[in-house]
């Protein structure tokens, strides 16, 4: 399998081969368009995906839940050329490093490096025929990274490249970033530290106890739906909901004799009506049906009644 080298930070655990390309993670931290909270969430997501891939490949062993691995990357300055080069072998890098690609808005892109270019020197130091390291990687890649890492911000940088048989000198300056410290822990002991318990969700209730004052023409009601979903068992006296705005579908339970219909309850078209309520934390909102006495004959169109949130009661919500 071909090996490529990306000039980004690699995290490693001492004594093993645990390594992961964290370029997406560091991109999240470096982004100036993200709030700290958003960057943290993105960072956790990228680390989670990285560990998931490792677990699926067997790199964490048959019982990853038993691992107790803790590794830390200290805060540091980093120079990221943004180059993807072929470092498969000394033979492939004999005449320089072949560029496979560049990352957007990177130093390499600003210098004008193109895929297919062959980098033959950096600031006058040749990258030709440097051989391989102990793991078989072309030393030209290591030499290029070391040369750039040693440069200060805004220091001149020249890459000599071969492009379509022509020699070019690409000139620019170095730009670095300050990377924060990063700590990753694995194992049961680390779970609590890495993921603090979520804050409790504020809640309240929607109440249906028929205590509404009759002098205000208020009578019993039933809640059929809360936010488009059945709220629970039929006939319950209250329903627990999160604090906030909720859209209800309400039915009326106005006694027929109150409406003057006598023994003809079948004339009523008891259609549900919508009601928007705001439930405050640790508060029960009482729902009722208001009888519109002057429109008692409007049975078909439901004009004889309206749903109403008639009272709020302080009630602790566990």
Query: Bigger pLDDT: 272 or 190?
Result: 272
Residue 180 predicted with pLDDT over 60: yes
8 A C-beta contact, residue 287 and residue 208: yes
Closest by CA to 201, choosing from 279, 312, 276, is 279
Quote the tokens at residue 174: 């170095």
Domain end point (choices 197, 228, 254):
197
Residue 280 predicted with pLDDT over 90: yes
Do 189 and 209 belong to one domain? Answer: no
For 42, residues 6+ apart whose C-beta sits below 8 A from its C-beta are: 28, 34
For 314, residues 6+ apart whose C-beta sits below 8 A from its C-beta are: 282, 283, 284
Do 209 and 144 belong to one domain? Answer: no
Q: What per-residue confidence (pLDDT) applies to 291?
A: 92
**Phi, psi of 214, deg, nearest 5:** -70, -25
Do 171 and 304 belong to one domain? Answer: no
Do 190 and 50 belong to one domain? Answer: yes
Q: What per-residue confidence (pLDDT) applies to 309?
A: 95
Do 209 and 107 belong to one domain? Answer: no
Domain end point (choices 197, 228, 244):
197
Do 55 and 193 belong to one domain? Answer: yes
Q: What is the band of 75 on the pLDDT scale with cuts at 50, 70, 90?
A: confident
Average pLDDT value for the chain:
77
106-135 average pLDDT score: 89
Do 221 and 289 belong to one domain? Answer: yes
Q: What is the band of 227 on the pLDDT scale with cuts at 50, 70, 90?
A: very high
How crowded is residue 264: how many other Cβ atoms within 10 Å of its Cβ? 11
Q: What is the pLDDT of residues 186-201, one digit of tens each?
A: 655 444 444 556 667 7
Highest mean pLDDT among 26-30, 81-85, 189-193, 215-219: 215-219
Residue 34 predicted with pLDDT over 50: no
Q: What is the band of 289 on the pLDDT scale with cuts at 50, 70, 90?
A: very high
Q: What is the band of 276 on the pLDDT scale with cuts at 50, 70, 90?
A: very high
8 A C-beta contact, residue 260 and residue 311: no
Closest by CA to 304, choosing from 275, 247, 261, 246, is 261
The residue segments making up the domain with residue 156 are: 76-177
Q: What per-residue confidence (pLDDT) applies to 247?
A: 95
Residue 21 predicted with pLDDT over 50: no
Do 233 and 300 belong to one domain? Answer: yes
53-62 average pLDDT score: 72
Do 10 and 101 belong to one domain? Answer: no
147-154 average pLDDT score: 83
Query: Bigger pLDDT: 17 or 250?
Result: 250
Do 222 and 172 belong to one domain? Answer: no
Please count the structural domains in the chain. Answer: 3
Q: What per-residue confidence (pLDDT) applies to 203?
A: 92
Which run of H or of E encompasses 246?
strand 244-253
For 38, residues 6+ apart whose C-beta sits below 8 A from its C-beta are: none
Residue 33 predicted with pLDDT over 50: no
Residue 11 predicted with pLDDT over 50: no
CATH number of the domain within which 118 lies: 2.30.42.10
Do 292 and 276 belong to one domain? Answer: yes
* Residues shown for the chain: 318
Highest mean pLDDT among 14-18, 107-111, 125-129, 306-310: 306-310
Q: What per-residue confidence (pLDDT) applies to 226?
A: 94
Domain end point (choices 165, 197, 229):
197
Query: Bigger pLDDT: 3 or 112?
Result: 112
Residue 175 predicted with pLDDT over 90: no
Do 38 and 185 belong to one domain? Answer: yes
């Amino acid at each position: 399998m071909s090996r490529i080298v990306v000039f980004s930070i690699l995290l490693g655990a001492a004594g093993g081969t645990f390594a992961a390309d964290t370029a997406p993670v560091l991109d999240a931290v470096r982004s100036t368009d993200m709030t700290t909270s958003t960057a943290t969430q993105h960072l956790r997501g990228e680390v989670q995906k990285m560990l998931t891939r490792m677990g699926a490949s067997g790199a964490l062993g048959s019982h990853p839940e038993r691992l107790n691995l803790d590794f830390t990357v200290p805060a540091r300055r980093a120079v990221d050329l943004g180059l993807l080069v072929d470092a498969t072998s000394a033979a492939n890098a004999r005449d320089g490093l072949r560029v496979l690609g560049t990352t957007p808005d990177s130093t390499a892109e600003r210098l004008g490096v193109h895929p297919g270019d062959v980098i033959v020197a950096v600031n006058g130091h040749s990258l030709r025929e440097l051989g391989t390291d102990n793991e078989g990687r072309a030393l030209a890649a290591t030499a290029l990274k070391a040369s750039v890492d040693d440069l200060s911000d805004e220091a001149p940088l020249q890459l000599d490249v071969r492009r379509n048989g022509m020699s070019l000198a690409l000139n620019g300056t170095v730009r670095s970033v300050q990377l924060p410290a990063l700590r990753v822990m694995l194992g049961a002991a680390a779970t609590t530290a890495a993921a603090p318990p979520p804050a409790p969700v504020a809640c309240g209730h929607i109440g249906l106890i028929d205590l509404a004052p009759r002098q205000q023409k208020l009578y019993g009601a039933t809640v059929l739906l809360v936010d488009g979903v059945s709220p629970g068992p039929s006939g319950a006296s209250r329903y627990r909901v999160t604090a906030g705005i909720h859209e209800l579908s309400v039915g009326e339970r106005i006694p027929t004799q109150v409406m003057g219909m006598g023994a003809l309850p079948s004339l009523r078209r008891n259609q549900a009506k919508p009601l928007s309520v705001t439930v405050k934390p640790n508060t029960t909102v009482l729902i009722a049906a208001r009888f519109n006495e002057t429109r008692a004959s409007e049975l078909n169109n439901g004009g004889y009644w309206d749903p109403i949130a008639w009272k709020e009661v302080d009630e602790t919500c566990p």
